[in-house]
Structure 1
Amino acid sequence: MALVLAGILVTGALGWHASEDARENWWSGQPHEPVGAGEELRGITITAAEVTALDAVETWDGPWPIPEGFQLWEVSLAVQTNQQEITTTTVYLEDTDGRRFAAGSNVPWSVDGYESYLTVDEPEADDDPLPEVQRMMVLTPADAVPAAVRVEGSYELNPQYFRLPVEG
């Protein structure tokens, strides 16, 4: 019995030592410091966010029926940037219950004018400029009430992220 107990203690001590880096760095690697509209974060500024319910969308193959029990939303974001290191970020629609739904997930990809990710890098000299407003689609359960738009950049922006409250 003492040998088993010693083995457990040694394993625990080795595990604690081996996990030191993960334990010390996980918090800074997670988005937990919100930045609001109009604030600059690593050369990126998001000045406006609008969320609108969609009744239907037209794909290249025809109308896309919104699944029963779900709601489709359009998220529109105005971005200004002066950096070229971070190319895209992920957009989430956060509801009043704190649930997050990713833009571009479980929605048709063949809808003109909509993207899956938010482009946040400054275009090259011979590229088209960023559009004034970038639009994404988000599918949520029908009971979701939008509270905020979150824009996260994986490790590039962490621990900060954009959080833009939804009006109305």
Structure 2
Amino acid sequence: MVAKPSALGAALILTLLANFSAATERGPVTNLPIPRFVSLKASEGNVRRGPSLSHRIDWVFKRRNMPLRITAEHGHWRRVEDKEGFGGWVHYSLLSGNRTVVIEQDLLPLHTRPDETTPVVAALEAGVIAELGKCEPDWCRLQSGGYRGWAQKSALWGVTSEELRD
């Protein structure tokens, strides 16, 4: 007799397959992972309704180094979204591979090492943009305002919870 999978077991298998395919999706232009994080290279970037100059500008990003998540690619255009989920199509020349994050927790402590018991070198306000360095499972090294230190990854937007960086 062959055992049939339960509805819960089948749902779990489908969920795992969906997560695996999402984790391995690659952009058709760059062959880089989708989604992925980048930053705004320019001090202003037009956000268009579609991937061409003929599409209407819906708004303008006005924050240099702002982290953005790329969700699609088409030619020289990338569909991006900010931490609030707002976005559209931006020309690739306005984007940089330099990684930044937005601080989501007010007065986020920067520690000397990735350990809450180590001294705090600074406290970053919510909304501050910081340069992203090395990331361990729960901590990332940041640089902002002349300060360097380690912060809890869960308080940052612009890095995934499972991302590791050297």
Q: Same fold (TM over 0.5)?
A: no
TM-score between the two structures when normalised by the length of structure 1? 0.25
| TM-score scaled by length of structure 2 | 0.26
Q: Compare CA radii of gyration and give the structure with the larger one.
A: 1
Higher relative contact order (CA 8 A, sep 6+): 1
